[in-house]
Structure 1
């Protein structure tokens, strides 16, 4: 995956991700992606047990939607910061908040305290990812970027293999708190690898002249607050819940519009439609995956470690498909990757929905979720490749942060809407899970229609 390009003259061949000049930078960046992957998979596996122990099942969706929503603020600030200066400072601040949030969550004695920790962690997580994508654009040649992005996906392999199982075993034995606290022990070594390798590679061409975009930062705060309001509206009495939820949903769309390239919400052909596709597939994937462990542990009475097998299979399939798309290069067009990926993810959601509706054996949903990972592995790297190809070098931070905004808002909106549906039919019932899966399937069908419409092709073609 990270070998030099065969057949190219040595004098003109761009250095690969493991070339001596960028080797430690590549390793360190992939290590940070590894941390994000491990944390996400581990927490998703253990959260059903956490919610039951702390008596906070009504806040289950908020524990996932909250970090994603508030992460929009960290994403926009970090993107703006990267356009003004080198990526070192926003990366350090992001890691600090990431650690602080994990510490609060790990020491939580109530579900609201855990949610607060998740919110702090969300800000940090949003601020970490943007500098990494900006570094892809600044430190690697365009021909090499698909391979380093495939390397990011490959960093999910080990967490996918051991993350859910370890999280389940830890939660079932020494306690779920170490699912949060244990991740902290991995942060400092990863950061220690990245920082020395940043020298001379992390500054943008016009960083010093880029102004702070106070308007975008303010809109990001509005987007975060409205997503949280949409999620919490499920706790209000029925008439007020519908009114507040509807207003909050409209406010979210209005707030994220200035944070995205023009034409995203109207599916303008080219890069805007690619960004919209990423929003939809992210919402469909996370909105389903978050509730799979809940279904498997709550209704099939599986241990957390066993339920984590679904996430393990999906993560491995994601990494394998990402590796394949990286090796395929231009032989697999972005459009073909989007079409195959959306069909695969739709099939996986259908398997989860059918298992719940017809009480099929749990293995149907577990095996079916492998198709979700393979679809995402094909699509996610290619969406970033397509976006970076059209990005102005002076706006790499804005474009990278816009991608992170949709990565946060898409799943957060899906989870918030699922929470609202759950509140209507009652917390914890199979019916609420069925309706949630129906919602994510509907989102996925919209993504498939966009992928197959041809609107993701470059506008100049």
Structure 2
């Protein structure tokens, strides 16, 4: 029997149900992410929360850090099943609270609860993949996760926009809650009786370095500090710009101190290998999401696009992301990590430049759709590659911590970048609006990502693991 036959596929009889349930949760998370970005201009207008627009994004990302750290430690101690179930429950609760909100404060509270669930769900699914699927299939399953964005990218923004335009924006939250509950029941049923031990481990393998409750508690406390600082940076938009920037700077310093123990040693110094993988994830995610949060707003505010039409830019980006992820899953080892970084950053830079040109000139709004599609292709190449490399650098006892660290970096970088962009939007009106300042800031963060990006190493860790 060949090695490929021994490993099977992600759809073989032993795994197809877990694959389907996991992909369904990713699918619905994609629907929610695209829907929120599409309808937020409508939500902030109806609930009179314009100054908290960015916080609706950054707050969710910030609290996801807490969920990630909690799920990482919990998974390392007892496997991913428990934290995954708890995370889905929190995600559902947050969706319901946001969906029934009567003012912006309640809506933000729901978004904060959603963040706890999203963060825990992400890390738990990463550890679940590491425990259930052999390393040879990791690239394929993460490519399947990326492919789960295809249908949402085609219909999610349009559906969310149509709901906001013809029904009500609340359906973007309550509808996803109902579908998530069904998907969770499917996955829970498929996980009954499935072992969560890696090949070669026993249920009580003494060689595993299981973190103590004290260590987990310490990490959780630090994650609360990081999340609180990110939320504080989001609220900085509520005060005059001079004070807002001082608050944001203090929050950034606090994040730098508190986040270091939650990441591999040397991450903030861009040490080659895993630390640079983790750091780059946070920077590229911050650059991309801080720009994307303002894409529908640019099209609606400056060019009077309807929510349905404004969502086309998100559709273009998500489709390109999924297609590029498929390429990475198939040919990533041949292309090599260094080349993937260079191509990805170039594509994202081109997309952000397109946004900047439209924001400054006030012309050719359809260039936003095309340009943001190009940027999505860049993210699709590099994003799953960084996940695959993280698992390749990890031993079984480190999978929870490293998966948590990857997601913590992702969420923290995104949360602070979005919060800072919201502050820049209000503080630096250039060419008649704050949009150019947002996109200049995103380009600066992307440029910083090249520092760790060129130090992550090529595909040798993957080949060594095989």
Q: TM-score, normalised to structure 1's length?
A: 0.94
- Residue in 2 that maps onto 1:341: 344
Q: Does 1:73 align with 2:78?
A: no
Q: Does 1:63 align with 2:59?
A: no
Report matched runs for 1:122-141 at 5 Å.
122-141=115-134
Q: Say whether the 8 Å CA contact 1:270–1:458 is kept in structure 2.
A: no
Q: CA deviation at 1:170?
A: 0.4
- Residue in 1 that maps onto 2:162: 169
- Residue in 1 that maps onto 2:186: 193
- Residue in 2 that maps onto 1:332: 335
Q: Say whether the 8 Å CA contact 1:86–1:207 is kept in structure 2.
A: no
Q: Does 1:19 align with 2:6?
A: no
Structure 2 gap segments, 5+ residues each: 205-209
Separation in 2, partners of 1:420, 1:37: 26
- Residue in 1 that maps onto 2:207: none
Separation in 2, partners of 1:314, 1:149: 18
- Residue in 2 that maps onto 1:253: 256
Q: Say whether the 8 Å CA contact 1:106–1:177 is kept in structure 2.
A: yes
- Residue in 1 that maps onto 2:443: 441
Q: CA deviation at 1:229?
A: 1.1
Q: CA deviation at 1:456?
A: 3.8
Q: Secondary structure at the match of 2:329?
A: helix
When residues 28 and 419 of structure 1 are mapped into structure 2, their CA distance, relative to the original with a 3 A threshold, is: same
When residues 246 and 329 of structure 1 are mapped into structure 2, their CA distance, relative to the original with a 3 A threshold, is: closer
Structure 1 gap segments, 5+ residues each: 1-7
Q: Does 1:272 align with 2:266?
A: no
Q: CA deviation at 1:248?
A: 1.0
Q: TM-score, normalised to structure 2's length?
A: 0.93
Q: Say whether the 8 Å CA contact 1:343–1:448 is kept in structure 2.
A: no
Q: Secondary structure at the match of 1:143?
A: helix
When residues 238 and 309 of structure 1 are mapped into structure 2, their CA distance, relative to the original with a 3 A threshold, is: closer
Picking from 24, 32, 53, the partner of 1:31 is 24
Separation in 2, partners of 1:116, 1:63: 9
Report matched runs for 1:396-415 at 5 Å.
396-415=399-418
Aligned residues: 452
Report matched runs for 1:344-363 at 5 Å.
344-363=347-366
Separation in 2, partners of 1:70, 1:23: 32
Q: Say whether the 8 Å CA contact 1:69–1:223 is kept in structure 2.
A: yes
- Residue in 2 that maps onto 1:211: 212
Q: Secondary structure at the match of 1:20?
A: coil
When residues 429 and 232 of structure 1 are mapped into structure 2, their CA distance, relative to the original with a 3 A threshold, is: farther
Separation in 2, partners of 1:455, 1:180: 38
Q: CA deviation at 1:429?
A: 8.6
- Residue in 2 that maps onto 1:5: none
Report matched runs for 1:294-443 at 5 Å.
294-425=297-428, 430-443=432-445
When residues 207 and 273 of structure 1 are mapped into structure 2, their CA distance, relative to the original with a 3 A threshold, is: farther
Q: CA deviation at 1:454?
A: 4.2
Separation in 2, partners of 1:336, 1:258: 30
Separation in 1, partners of 2:460, 2:320: 31
Report matched runs for 1:34-49 at 5 Å.
34-49=27-42
Q: Secondary structure at the match of 1:268?
A: coil
The one-character-per-residue Cα deviations of 1:108-162 (angstroms, maximum 9, x if unpaired) are 1111110001001111111111111001111111111100000000000010010
Separation in 2, partners of 1:383, 1:432: 32
- Residue in 2 that maps onto 1:107: 100
RMSD of aligned C-alpha atoms? Answer: 1.9
Q: CA deviation at 1:459?
A: 9.4
Separation in 1, partners of 2:375, 2:324: 11
Q: Say whether the 8 Å CA contact 1:85–1:203 is kept in structure 2.
A: no
Q: CA deviation at 1:329?
A: 4.4
